[in-house]
Structure 1
Amino acid sequence: MMKKLLIPVVVLLGQVVAMSVAQGATNFVTDDFEVMMRTGPSIQNKIVRPLRSGTSIEVLREDSGNGHSQIKLSSGEIGYMLTRFITDKPSARSRLRAVEEQLAQLRSEPNEIRSLLADSQSENQLLIAQNIDLTNAAQAAEAELEEIKAISGNVIKLSAQNQKLESEVQQLLLQLDDIRIQNEALKDNSERVRNLLGIGVLLLGIFLGWVLSISGRRNRNSWGS
């Protein structure tokens, strides 16, 4: 009697375990050993391939009667395997490998951070040096600009003075031309005056000679009488 009751209980537990595997969700092969993937839900069906522990599978359909589930691999291949070797968590070996990878990454991160910090410090020093160079260049350019402004101001001032001097020179040249013209006129007047004086002296001499000759003749006539 006890044996008869045990069988339904075992079957019921098997159904509960089979129902606990979510259909359509991503599941994994347990890490107990390799599980055979077959063409059908029976050990008499042909083996398609062995599935390693931690292989990712998708459960398509469960058959609680024979303890098999229809599964689909990530490659798209479809087959059957025992439901009891399916779990909703990665295998302990896979989890251990992931933890080891994370640990290695965490261990390498301080070195990477130190390397990044050193690179950042070097880049910061380079930027500081470039900033100093740019500051010096800006100051030199500003000083040169001030010098150019001063030179430009002097050039403008000298240009104005030059224009003023040129204007004064032109005025002096005009005055010199006037003086030269006046001088030429004076020379002409002096020449005319000299000529007139010469003519006057000549005429005066002739007149005096004529007067003297007349006086001489009168005197001789008076003496003769």
Structure 2
Amino acid sequence: MGVLFAGPALAADATAPASNTTAAQPQAVATPSGGVRYVTDQFKITMRQGAGLRYQIVRMLSTGDRLQVVQQDAQSGYTEVRTQDGAQGWVLTRYLMNHPTARAQLAQARQSLDQVNAKLKATADTLSQTQDALKAKTQAEADLQGRYDALKKQYDNLRATAKNAVAVADENRTLKLRTATLSKRLSAVSSENETLKNTGLLRWFMAGGGVLLVGLILGLLMPHLVRRRRDNWFS
């Protein structure tokens, strides 16, 4: 590529002002240094040791090379520049531009696009991870809600069971009291029955004793009555 552009580069140097071919280098008209220039987007150019064709070529500069301006010589049409690796020399001013070449701009735009795409991919990955984390969190919340509902149901069941247990305990206590009362009444009734039974036996015993006593008395009186009746018959 450098060989192909060597001819145009030499021709470009040949079109430089005639003053460049003189024995002595014309006095440079210094302009403020600084700023950045770029090699034109057409072909390779030569960088020489001085401002003119008689100076040795230091190197060939390619399209889009970034150069630091040291000074400009408006009379000779050359600009002293410094490359990024520190080489310093003179090039024709008309082959310098104030902005990068279209190819360099395209490469930079592609690089920027790649960076943007990389950032977009990283953002998409982060978004995907965030969505996955959100899904996991949502699932965890759903699981926790399910466990909460199950525990609440168990609590309600236990609470209802406890209420039933309290009611059953109260009922058992009431039944025990009633049983105790009925037991007391049963004991009283049994005592009364025993008393009545004893009283009845006593009455029967007394009645039997009375009958026996009456029979005994009658047995004692009957002979006297019979004898007396006989005496009455005989008299």
Q: Specify the TM-score bucket, using the shorter chain as the normaliser.
A: 0.5 to 0.7
Matches of 2:133 and 2:80 in 1, distance apart?
54
Would the alpha carbon gap of residues 91 and 210 (structure 1) be closer, same or farther in structure 2, given more than 3 Å must change?
Answer: same
Matches of 1:185 and 1:90 in 2, distance apart?
138
Contact 1:54/1:91, CA 8 A, preserved across alignment = yes
Aligned to 1:154: 157
Matches of 2:49 and 2:201 in 1, distance apart?
158
Which residue type is aligned with residue 213 of structure 1?
A: L
Which residue type is aligned with residue 149 of structure 2?
A: E
Cα drift, residue 33 of structure 1: 5.4
Aligned pair partner of 2:83 in 66, 89, 93: 93
Cα drift, residue 214 of structure 1: 0.6
Aligned pair partner of 2:222 in 195, 219, 224: 219
Aligned pair partner of 2:144 in 122, 126, 141: 141
Cα drift, residue 177 of structure 1: 0.3
Matched, 1:116 2:110: no
Matches of 1:191 and 1:106 in 2, distance apart?
123
Task: Compute the TM-score of the two structures, normalised by the length of structure 2.
Answer: 0.52
Matched, 1:194 2:216: no
> What CA deviation, in whole Å up to 9, does each residue of 1:153-205 have, x standing for no partner?
23222222221221111111100000001111111111112222222222221
> What CA deviation, in whole Å up to 9, does each residue of 1:95-146 have, x standing for no partner?
99x969x867554332222222222222222222222222222222223322
Task: Compute the TM-score of the two structures, normalised by the length of structure 1.
Answer: 0.54
RMSD (Å), alpha carbons:
3.7
Matches of 1:90 and 1:139 in 2, distance apart?
73
Which residue type is aligned with residue 158 of structure 1?
A: T
Would the alpha carbon gap of residues 90 and 176 (structure 1) be closer, same or farther in structure 2, given more than 3 Å must change?
Answer: farther
Matched, 1:181 2:165: no
Contact 1:54/1:90, CA 8 A, preserved across alignment = yes
Matches of 1:159 and 1:90 in 2, distance apart?
100
Where 2:129 maps in the other structure, the secondary structure is helix
Matches of 2:132 and 2:172 in 1, distance apart?
58
Aligned to 1:209: 212
Matched, 1:132 2:135: yes
Structure with the higher fraction of residues in helix conformation: 1
Would the alpha carbon gap of residues 32 and 182 (structure 1) be closer, same or farther in structure 2, given more than 3 Å must change?
Answer: same
Matches of 2:176 and 2:207 in 1, distance apart?
45
Contact 1:54/1:93, CA 8 A, preserved across alignment = no
Matches of 2:109 and 2:115 in 1, distance apart?
10
Would the alpha carbon gap of residues 113 and 90 (structure 1) be closer, same or farther in structure 2, given more than 3 Å must change?
Answer: farther
Where 2:114 maps in the other structure, the secondary structure is helix
Matches of 2:206 and 2:80 in 1, distance apart?
156
Q: Which runs of 5+ in 2 are unaligned?
A: 1-26, 35-46, 51-67, 71-78, 85-95, 229-235
Cα drift, residue 54 of structure 1: 6.5
Q: Give 1:98-109 correspondences, 5 Å limit.
A: 106-109=109-112
Q: Percent identity?
A: 13
Q: Which runs of 5+ in 1 are unaligned?
A: 1-13, 22-26, 35-52, 56-88
Where 2:83 maps in the other structure, the secondary structure is helix
How many residues align structurally? Answer: 152
Where 1:91 maps in the other structure, the secondary structure is strand
Matches of 1:190 and 1:91 in 2, distance apart?
141
